[in-house]
């Protein structure tokens, strides 16, 4: 089946990112991002490199020099696309971004069912092209929001892309609450997410495994309250629990609550 809804969401965040880029000065393009070693411009270079790969265009032959912020082979591959464009202006990177995303949208809109069923390796393991797109929406939207936070130009914080990203990240909550934070058997941890994207969920440990349900549990051992922007930053490792301690609160078991918040980073 052709995932029209996924294509619509990708086009939404890609268009929003292009609109943001059109507002940036060269100084803003070169501003440090939330990712070590990268600027706002580098973030967009990374995104367009991913779309070139998905379009099966020839990969760059450029090899970036070793850098402290590159921690693994995936990071090294990402760095090649980023470093190749570091001498460019932000406007040049934006032009290439607009070209590749326009091509990608045409490709996706014209594709048949078989295209989306092709086997593909995703960040969470083997899947299909459609599975990859499901994750890619979250990735692109999160990077868009990083660029917006750094440049001080808010936008696209709520809506379907934001809800999609939140739903993807919530999938990892059982691992955070159960395995990482060592929540006791039978106990429940609740999350009250406020702000642009509002959500209340509870995670209960049963037979050593966490199960997520909607709603804040009245018998929760701990309830964590935070706005969606802070949740996204914590869940993607852009800030630590200590760095954001004024943006979240805990009711109930303070030690467990802190363990959960400090282990929220779900990204590789």
pTM here?
Answer: 0.94
63-77 mean pLDDT: 74
Residue 94: is it exposed, middle or buried by C-beta count within 10 angstroms (0-12/13-18/19+)? Answer: buried
CA 70 to centroid of chain Cα atoms: 18
Beta-bridge mates of residue 213: 202
pLDDT at 75: 65
List the beta bridge partners of residue 203. Answer: 189, 212
pLDDT band for position 24 (cuts 50, 70, 90): very high
- Provide the pLDDT for residue 268: 57
Share of the chain above pLDDT 70, in %: 99
Give which of 211, 225, 7, 33 is closest to 109, Cα–Cα: 7
Q: What is the mean pLDDT of the chain?
A: 95
Q: pLDDT tens across 75-113, in order?
A: 677 899 999 999 999 999 999 999 999 999 999 999 999
101 backbone φψ class: left, alpha, beta (φ>0; ψ -120 to 50): alpha
Q: pLDDT at position 15, please?
A: 98
Q: Closest Cα to residue 17, out of 117, 98, 91, 114?
A: 98
Determine the Cα–Cα distance for residues 19 and 155; give it in Å rounded to an integer: 10
Instruction: List the one residue out of 4, 12, 2 whose CA is nearest residue 165.
Output: 12
Q: Distance between CA atoms of 118 and 163, rounded to whole angstroms?
A: 26
DSSP 39: B
Could you tell me the domains of the chain? 4-156 (1.20.120.450), 169-262 (3.30.1050.10)
> Crossing angle of helices 228-235/129-151, nearest 10°?
120
Question: Considering only CA atoms, which of 142, 44, 140, 53 is closest in space to residue 85?
Answer: 44
3-class DSSP assignment, residue 65: coil
pLDDT score recorded for residue 65: 74
């Amino acid at each position: 089946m052709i995932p029209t809804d996924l294509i619509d969401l990708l086009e939404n965040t890609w268009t929003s990112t292009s609109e943001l880029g059109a507002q940036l000065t060269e100084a803003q393009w070169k501003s440090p991002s939330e990712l070590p070693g990268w600027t706002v411009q580098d973030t967009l270079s990374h995104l367009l490199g991913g779309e070139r790969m998905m379009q099966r265009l020839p990969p760059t032959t450029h090899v970036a020099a070793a850098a402290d912020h590159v921690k693994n082979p995936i990071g090294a591959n990402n760095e090649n696309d980023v470093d190749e464009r570091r001498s460019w202006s932000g406007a040049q990177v934006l032009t290439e971004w607009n070209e590749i995303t326009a091509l990608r949208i045409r490709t996706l809109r014209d594709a048949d069912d078989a295209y989306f069923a092709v086997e593909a390796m995703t960040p969470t393991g083997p899947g299909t092209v459609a599975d990859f797109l499901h994750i890619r929406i979250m990735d692109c939207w999160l990077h868009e929001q990083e660029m917006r936070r750094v440049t001080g130009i808010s936008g696209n914080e709520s809506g379907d892309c934001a809800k999609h990203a939140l739903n993807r990240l919530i999938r990892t909550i059982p691992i955070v609450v159960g395995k990482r934070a060592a929540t006791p058997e039978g106990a429940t941890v609740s999350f009250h997410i406020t702000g642009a994207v509002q959500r209340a969920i509870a995670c209960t440990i049963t037979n050593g495994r966490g199960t997520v349900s909607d709603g804040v549990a009245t018998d929760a051992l701990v309830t964590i309250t935070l706005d969606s922007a802070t949740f996204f930053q914590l869940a993607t490792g852009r800030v630590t629990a200590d760095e954001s301690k004024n943006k979240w609160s805990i009711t109930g078991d303070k030690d467990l609550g802190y363990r959960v918040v400090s282990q929220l980073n779900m990204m590789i």
